[in-house]
Amino acid sequence: MGKVGSGRRAETYDADLGEHVARAQEGDEEAFAAAYRLVHPPLLGYLRGLVRDDAEDVASDAWLEIARDLGRFRGDGAGFRAWTASIARNRAIDHLRRLKSRPRDTLLEQDLRELPAAQDTAGEAFETISTEHALALIATLPRQQAEAVLLQTVIGLDGAAAARVLGKRPGAVRSATHRGLRRLGKHLATLERDRVTDSDSRALGDAT
CB 58 within 8 A of CB 47: yes
CB 17 within 8 A of CB 35: yes
Instruction: Express each pLDDT in 111-128 by its tens digit.
Output: 222 333 333 555 555 555
If one compares 167 and 201, the residue with the highest pLDDT of the two is 167
Residue 49 has pLDDT above 80, yes or no: yes
187 Rama sector, left if φ>0, alpha if ψ -120 to 50, beta otherwise = alpha
Q: What is the pTM of this model?
A: 0.71
Amino acid at 171: G
Considering all CA atoms of the chain, what is the largest pairwise distance in Å, rounded to the nearest integer? 72
Question: pLDDT value at position 104?
Answer: 47
Residue 163 has pLDDT above 50, yes or no: yes
